[in-house]
Amino acid sequence: RSSNLSSGKADVITDVPVEKEKTLNQGDKTTTSSVSGFRTSLIMYNHTSKKMTKPVREALDKVVDRESIAKNVSKNHATPATGPFNTKLDFIDKQQVQKQDIDEAKKIMAAQGYTKAHPLKLTVSTYNGRPELPKMAQVLQSDAKKANIDITIRNLDDIEGYLKDKSQWDASMYSFGTIPRG
């Protein structure tokens, strides 16, 4: 899409990957604008995985540094999440962004028997269809390691097909639109 805009084959495009924005803005014939949307990026838990217990999900939730991801991965083109829906929707109460708390995540994992010597091993899938997701997975992998969670990332071409076989994955990076329609 970005190449089509730069070459003049397209007049308007949407969903410009953040890593392409600077290049597009430097072009003579292109400019970008950014508006808040209703797409959310998330960690989807496999409810059939015996590893994804409630305490593990709570620990992973504490591992995520929402503000850093919005700033560094999304280059300030995202708002740190407070829930699954955009807070601009009139039926969403304003909530506080949960702060990262590696120490608390580590305590939760220790209570489940996981230590630095014996970490929990998870498989997290992601896909390039949303270029920010593999980067978010890498941030999650790095931060989770500090809480004794070792993540193996599987970057896939066919995420939908892969997710159907729940025996292959524990969690997945995912993205979808959240604005109610109809």
Rounded percentage of the chain residues whose pLDDT exceeds 70 = 97
Q: Are residues 24 and 73 in the same domain?
A: no
Q: Are residues 84 and 163 in the same domain?
A: yes
pTM of the predicted protein model: 0.84
Domain that holds residue 67: 40-177
Q: Are residues 7 and 59 in the same domain?
A: no
Q: Are residues 13 and 74 in the same domain?
A: no
63 pLDDT exceeds 90? yes
> Of the candidates 40, 34, 41, which has an alpha carbon nearest to the alpha carbon of residue 15?
34
User: Each residue of 125-180: pLDDT tens digit?
Assistant: 999 988 899 999 999 999 999 999 999 999 999 999 999 999 999 999 998 877 76
Q: Give the pLDDT confidence score for residue 149 in this predicted structure.
A: 99
Q: Are residues 7 and 62 in the same domain?
A: no
Q: Are residues 80 and 28 in the same domain?
A: no
For residues 132 and 104, the model is more confident at 104
Q: Are residues 118 and 60 in the same domain?
A: yes
In a domain, 132, yes or no: yes
Query: What is the average pLDDT score of the chain?
Result: 89
